Amino acid sequence: MSNKDIIIEKTKKLLETHCYPGLKTAANEWLEAIGTDKEKEAAKNYLAVLEDSVMDIDSVINLFDSDEGVKKFGAEMANKIASHAKEVKARGGKYCDCPACSAGLELLKYKEDLLA
């Protein structure tokens, strides 16, 4: 399996997760552009959105510990996610481990291949 095939497969897995709508749009646009003259531009956009979408663990903690996080997600859910993120950080994790961020991190390993 080529790296491009791996990226396509991982992108499809990413699309099955609950993630930022802009990331889903960029991923779909890239998939649709494969093999066309729009592929390189779509790949650059997809990569930029991927890099912006993967949250570092401190940002997750700050969001879910904030009034904004409580307001948006409810106190119970915000506390649950913040507690989990603090556990991830205590174990040495640097990034959010939700399915979308995990898929995004996997895709970023293929950055050079995505842009090729």
Of 76, 77, 75, 95, the C-alpha closest to 85 is 95
Burial tier of 91 (Cβ tally within 10 Å: 0-12, 13-18, 19+): exposed
**The total number of structural domains that make up the chain:** 2
| pLDDT at residue number 2 | 92
11-24 burial, b for 16+ CB within 10 Å, e for fewer? beebeeeebeeebb
User: Three-class SS of residue 67?
Assistant: helix
| pLDDT at residue number 20 | 87
Q: d(Cα 19, Cα 99) in Å, to the nearest integer? A: 8
Q: Are residues 46 and 82 located together in one domain of the fold? A: no
Decide if 76 is inside a domain: yes
Decide if 11 is inside a domain: yes
Q: Are residues 42 and 72 located together in one domain of the fold? A: no
Q: Are residues 48 and 61 located together in one domain of the fold? A: no
**Looking at the whole model, is its pTM more than 0.75?**
yes
| pLDDT at residue number 86 | 98
Decide if 6 is inside a domain: yes
Decide if 102 is inside a domain: no
Decide if 8 is inside a domain: yes
Q: Are residues 67 and 50 located together in one domain of the fold? A: no
Question: Average pLDDT, stretch 18-36?
Answer: 96
Decide if 100 is inside a domain: no
Of 54, 45, 46, 56, the C-alpha closest to 93 is 56
Domain that holds residue 67: 56-94
Decide if 32 is inside a domain: yes
The conformational region for residue 54 under phi > 0 = left, psi -120 to 50 = alpha, else beta, is beta
Question: Average pLDDT, stretch 76-91?
Answer: 97
Q: Are residues 39 and 69 located together in one domain of the fold? A: no
